[in-house]
Amino acid sequence: MSARPGMWRHWLLAAGACLLFPFAAAATEAAAADSLPALLDVADSIKTSDHGTFVKLLQQMEPQLGQLSPAQQWHLRYLKAWDVAYYGDYERAGGLLDEVIAQNVDPTLRFRATATSINILGIGHRYEEAFTRLDKLVGQLPQTTDKRARLQGLGEAAQLLVAAGQYDLAGQYAEQMLQNLPPGEGPCKGLFFKAEAAYRSNKTDAREQLDQAIDRCVSVGETVYANTLRAELAVADLERGEATQAIAVLMRNYADVQHDGYQTLIAQFDAALAKAHLSLGNLAEARKHALAAVQNSIKGEYTAPLGMAYQVLYRVARKQGDLAAALAYLEQYMAADKGYLDDVSAKALAYQVVKQQVLSGRLQLDTLNKQNQILQLQQALDRKAVEASRLYIVLLLMALGFITLWIYRLKRSQLRFMWLSRLDSLTGICNRKHFIEQAEQALQQAVRTRQPAALLILDLDHFKLINDTFGHGVGDHVLKHIVEACRPLLGARDVFGRLGGEEFAVLLPDCAPDQALARAERLRSAIGTLSPLEGGELTVSASFGVADTHSAGYDVSELLVRADHALYRAKSEGRNRVVATWAGTVPTTLAASEVRQMGASA
C-alpha cells in the first residue's frame, strides 16, 4: 500500500466529541430541560458526531448569552470559533481563537483554544508557528489535568506530526490517546491517528488498522472520521487498479458525506470518484465529479484532491478532442500540483527547522549560563587567585567550545536536510519541484545569452503492466536502470528530473531543435537496449515528446505543456518513438535513420 501525503489537510477532528453518539439525542433533551450550562456541555460533546444538532444548539444559546457566567460565555465563544473553522473561514476562526487564548482566565479552555489554533495555523501554511506552538503545548501536557483537553492536545500533536512525515512519533502520541481515554470516550480518535500513521509509513498491518478504526468510529456515530479513512482506502484501491471497488465504497457513503457538509471531505470523495470513472472510461461521470471537487475545494488552497480533479478534467478534455480546454486544465493542474508539492516540502522542512531551533535555543541558553559562570569565577580569581578555579575556567571554556561545535553541526544537518528535500528518493535525481526550479534558472540564463534550449518528456511504455506482472519492486528497479542508462548521455548543464511515476523530463540548454531530436533518439535507443532482469525476460521502451524555445518561448510551463502534447502523440502513434511539436506545423515523428544522420552532423 503506497502512502498518499496530504489527505489529512484541513481536518479539525482533534477537537472532537466527548460523549458517545448513541446518547447524544437523550443528553440534548435532558440538558434542554435542565440548564443552559448543561446544554453548552452537550454541544461541545457532539460537534463532530452530530454537527447539525451542534449548530442548532449554538443558535439556541446565542439569545440567552447573558444568563451564562463569564467562563461559560468564553466556552461558547470557543465553540463558535471552532464552528467557523469547520466551514473553512480559517482567518476569522484564528482571530476568534486568539481572543480566547489572550483574554480567557480558564487554563483548560486556553489549552483547548491553543490546540485548535495549531490546526488553523497548519491549514494557513504557517507551519513554523504551528510547530512552535505545538512544542509549548506538549510542554504543558504534564500540568493539564483535564483528560478531554489532554486528549485534544495529543490529537493535535499526532495530526501535525503525520503531516510532517514523522509517522513513528505521531503513532506514539496516538497510543497515548488510547491509554488515557476520558470517561465515556471511545477509542475512535486514537485509532484514527494511529491508523493514519501506519498507513503513511506503509506498515504491513495498515489496512487492518484502517478497517478497525472505521468500524469503531462508525459504532459511535463519528462518520467524518470514518469517511476520511474510507476516502484513503478508495485512493489505495485506485492505485491497485480496482476502480469498481473504489466507486462502490465511495458511493455507499456519499450521501453521509454530503449530509455532514464538510467541504474538504466532499472534495476528496468527488476527486476519487472522478479518477475512478475516468479509468473505466465514463467520461461524463468523471467530468461531473471532477468539477464538483474543484467547487468544494477551499479557495486559494492547493490540495491533493484539487490537483487530482484538474488532472481528470485535462484527460477528459483531451480524450474529447477539446484541445483548448485541455490546455487550460493542464496549466491549472500543473499549478495545483506544484503548489501542493511545495506545501508538502514546507511542512516537513518547518518541523526540522523548529526542532533544531528549539534545540539550538536550549544550547544557547546553556552557553549563556556557562559564560555567566566563567565571569563569576574570573571575579573570584581577582579576589582569591585560586589556581583550582583557573582549571575550572578551562574546563568551562572547553564545554563552551563543545556547545559551539554542536550548534555548528546542527546547522550543517539542517542544510543537508534542505538538500535532500530536493531529490527524488528512489532515483537520486531532481524531484518535480526542484526540476522546475532548476529549469527556470537555466531558461533565464538562456534568455540572457540568447541561446536556444529544448525540453524532453519521456514516459515508459506499458509500465503498469510491468508492475502488475513482476511487482512494484521490479518496477522500482526498472526506474533506477532507466536513470543510470540516461546519465552518460546527458551533459553537466542538462537538468534531469522525475516528474512523477514513470515520467521524466530533461531540459537541454544551448540545444537547437535538430540537436534535441538527435539526443532524444539516443536516449530512446539506450533505454530500448536495457534488460533489467537476468535472462532477458523483461525489455523496456519509452516514448518521447520534444518542445523547443524557438516555438514555445522560454517559459517552463509552456514547454512542459507542448512536450506533453507531443508525448501524447507519440503514445497514440504506437509508442517507442520521438515526436516533436514545432510552431506552425503538425507534430511529426522522426525516422530513426534521420535522427542518426542529424546526430552525426551535430
Is the pLDDT reported for residue 68 higher than 60? yes
Angstrom CA distances, 363 to 130, 376, 404, 492, stand at 22, 20, 8, 41
pLDDT of residue 472: 85
According to the model, what pLDDT value does residue 221 have? 84
* Residue 118 placed within a domain: yes
Cβ atoms of 494 and 507 within 8 Å: the answer is yes
Establish if 294 belongs to a structural domain: no
My answer on whether 486 and 416 are in the same domain is no
437 and 390 in a single domain? The answer is no
* 358 and 494 together in one domain: no
Q: What is the mean pLDDT of residues 260-277?
A: 90
What's the pLDDT at 493? 93
Residues 384 and 478 both lie in one domain? no
* DSSP-derived 3-state class of residue 6: coil
Phi, psi of 240 (to 5 degrees): -90, 5
Q: In the predicted model, what is the mean pLDDT of residues 343-353?
A: 58
- Is residue 32 pLDDT above 50, yes or no? no
Considering the domain boundaries, does residue 48 fall inside one?
Answer: yes
Domain that holds residue 6: 1-185
For residues 515 and 411, membership in a common domain is answered with: no
So what's the pLDDT on residue 351?
58
276 occurs within a structural domain: no
The pLDDT of 472-493, averaged and rounded, is 92
Rounded to whole angstroms, how far apart are CA atoms 514 and 554? 18
**Domain membership flag for residue 56:** yes
Q: How confident is the model at residue 62 (pLDDT cuts 50, 70, 90)?
A: confident
pLDDT of residue 456: 97
Give the CATH number, domain containing residue 32.
1.25.40
Question: What is the tens place of the pLDDT at every residue in 531-560?
Answer: 877 766 788 999 999 999 998 899 999 999
Q: Residue 371 has what pLDDT?
A: 60
Q: What is the CATH number of the domain that holds 537?
A: 3.30.70.270
More confident residue, 434 or 339: 434
The answer to whether residue 270 scores a pLDDT higher than 90 is yes
- Given a cut of 70, whether residue 9 has pLDDT beyond it is no
- With respect to residue 369, please indicate whether it lies within any of the assigned structural domains: yes
Q: Residues 299-326: what's their mean pLDDT?
A: 86
- The pLDDT score that the predictor gives to residue 91 is 83
Same domain, 448 and 505: yes
The type of residue at 555 is D
Task: Say which residue, 429 or 404, is predicted with more confidence.
Answer: 429
- CA distances for 431 relative to 160, 323, 414, 499, angstroms: 24, 28, 19, 7
Residue with cell 512544542: 135
- Mean pLDDT over 57-81 rounds to 87
The listed range with the strongest mean pLDDT (369-378, 433-442, 583-592) is 433-442
Number of domains present in the structure of the chain: 3
Work out the pLDDT band at 253, boundaries 50, 70, 90: very high
How many CA atoms, within 13 angstroms, populate the side-chain half-sphere of residue 433? 18
Is the confidence at residue 594, as pLDDT, over 50? no
pLDDT at 223 over 60: yes
The pLDDT of residue 533: 78
214 occurs within a structural domain: no
- Percent pLDDT > 90 in the chain is 31
Which of 131, 160, 185 marks a domain boundary?
185
The pLDDT assigned to 440 comes to: 95
Mean pLDDT of 253-276: 90
Does residue 458 share a domain with residue 409?
no
Determine the average pLDDT of the residues in 291-311. 84
* Same domain for 94 and 44: yes
For residue 192, being part of any structural domain is answered with no
Q: What is the pLDDT of residue 587?
A: 42
Task: Provide the pLDDT for residue 352.
Answer: 60
391 has a pLDDT exceeding 80: no
Pairwise CA distance, residues 42 & 57, whole Å: 9
- Between CA 296 and CA 293 the distance in angstroms is 5
Burial class (CB in 10 A: 0-12, 13-18, 19+), 135: middle
* Confidence label for 448 from pLDDT (cuts 50, 70 and 90): very high
Q: For residue 21, what is the DSSP state? A: G
Q: Are residues 527 and 391 in the same domain?
A: no
What's the pLDDT score for residue 418? 62
CA 142 to chain CA centroid, nearest Å:
31
Q: Select from 420, 445, 466 the last residue of a domain.
A: 420
- Same-domain check for residues 518 and 390: no
Looking at 96-105, 432-441, 555-564, which range is the least confident one? 96-105
Which of 185, 215, 245 corresponds to the end of one domain? 185
HSE-up of residue 131 (Cα within 13 Å, Cβ side): 21
| Residue-averaged pLDDT of the chain | 81
- Residue 430 CA to residue 497 CA, distance in Å, equals 4
**Residue 558 sits in the same domain as residue 453:** yes
Q: Are 160 and 122 in contact (CB under 8 A)?
A: yes
Q: What per-residue confidence (pLDDT) applies to 33?
A: 41
Of the candidate ranges 153-167, 216-230, 349-363, the one whose mean pLDDT is the lowest: 349-363
Q: Does one domain contain both 404 and 479?
A: no
